Amino acid sequence: MTTGAVNPAHYASQLETKVTRLQQLLAPYTAASPTVFASPASHYRMRAEFRVWHDGDDLFYIMFDAETRAKIRTDQFPVGSELINHLMPAIIDYVKYQPVLRNKLFQVEFLTTTTDQALISLIYHRQLDEEWQLFAQQLKQHLSQYGEIHIIGRAKKQKICLEQDWVTETLTIAGRDYSFQQVENSFTQPNAAVNKHMIEWALAATQDRPGDLLELYCGNGNFSLPLAQNFDRVLATEISKTSVASAIYNCELNKIKNVTLVRMSAEDFSAVLAGSKQSRRATEADVLSFNCQTVLVDPPRAGLDMDTIELVRQYEMIVYISCNPETLAENIGQLANTHEVTQTALFDQFPYTHHMEAGVILTRKVQ
């Protein structure tokens, strides 16, 4: 999204359009209006990336128009966190006069937290050496006036970390602080304020639920850790090796001991529970010992495949977080003979775009 699309004066009407669209998609399954969680109108996005344009002695960030692919100079990014907006000019002003850092710098990526930590990835079209590391350390020191800064240098088949490739986000969820390791290039929720709303909504919806929780697509434990207080145990699955390592780290960081992580895809896990596939990881986790009566899914835009639909159908309550309301509606239709929609929510993760995040609670119909 380019800065030209951002106009806070239009935010309320754009959000209302999304609400109407979600209601239309879910109309076959519920007449209830969704609970709406708005985003801050600016400085809500915790990560961003920009191409770096070299124009003679000048150096600046650009983005591309989604339709025309025209270059748009981007000196500030109002949807980005305040820390991103502090760091953007500070990096350009420093790198512009340091040939070692400037030479063939192609892109800059930012991952920031609400607690003023930042991971900055400098991506080059050349190999990096010890001289680059020396100057990058000096840049890191210069930027430390803005917060806790970490820098990574990347080039083809090369990655140089100055100390670490992650930051720690701390979110206050229903009065309790949770810390989450967020690793470069692994999935994290982009809008911290709306992410808090999503977690608190799921936390309230599952309060007093019996038994254990099954979570598919658990990522770094974004939902697993806060929701663990509502259940005896949590069985969480995730395919990404990096995310599973972060989720385990985050459990230790937050002293949460009733979460079991299994590195498996949702499709493979469904096959294991259906008895059509063997898995050493599932056996080691003793997955059959869990008494899961609730399942939480947060799938990619493609939604749930049919095997996973049949898996989640077995549970009394389904908490479905979706980044694609079209596939959400399709999946609800596939579950409609056994489950009914009892709650809906719209989480505006992506203001000034047509994208939206939705939440739905489905409960098993009384036979």
Task: Quickly list DSSP for 241-270.
Answer: HHHHHHHHHHHHHTT--SEEEEE--HHHHH
Per residue in 286-316, pLDDT (tens digit) is 999 999 999 999 999 999 999 999 999 999 9
Q: Residues 344, 321: contact at Cβ < 8 Å? A: no
Query: d(Cα 48, Cα 64) in Å, to the nearest integer?
Result: 13
Buried b (16+ CB within 10 A) or exposed e, 255-284: ebeebbbbbbbbbbbbbbbeeeeebeebee
Q: Which helix (H) or strand (E) holds 14?
A: helix 11-26
Q: Which residue do the tokens 């915790």 mark?
A: 46
Residues carrying an active site annotation:
323, 357
Structure-block tokens of residue 280: 């050493």
pLDDT at 3: 61
The domains of the chain, with CATH numbers, are 3-41+168-364 (3.40.50.150), 47-167 (2.40.50.1070)
Query: Pairing state of beta strands 339-347 and 35-37?
Result: parallel
Alpha carbon of 273 to those of 203, 232, 266, 270: distances in Å?
26, 20, 11, 5
pTM: 0.94
pLDDT at 342: 97
Sheet containing 58-64, strands listed edge to edge, beginning at the edge strand earlier in sequence: 71-73, 58-64, 47-55, 105-112, 117-124, 148-155, 158-162
Residue pLDDT tens, the chain, 367 long: 556 578 888 999 999 999 999 999 999 999 999 999 999 999 999 999 999 999 999 999 999 988 888 999 999 999 999 999 999 999 999 999 999 999 999 999 999 999 999 999 999 999 999 999 999 999 999 999 999 999 999 999 999 999 999 999 999 999 999 999 999 999 899 999 999 999 999 999 999 999 999 999 999 999 999 999 999 999 999 999 999 999 999 999 999 999 999 999 988 998 898 888 889 999 999 999 999 999 999 999 999 999 999 999 999 999 999 999 999 999 999 999 999 999 999 999 999 999 999 999 999 998 7
Per residue in 173-214, pLDDT (tens digit) is 999 999 999 999 998 999 999 999 999 999 999 999 999 999
pLDDT at 6: 83
Q: Which residue do the tokens 């434990």 mark?
A: 221
Computed over its alpha carbons, how large is the radius of gyration of the chain? 22
Cβ-based neighbours of 201, under 8 Å, separated by 6 or more: 35, 37, 345, 347, 359
Query: d(Cα 291, Cα 207) in Å, to the nearest integer?
Result: 17
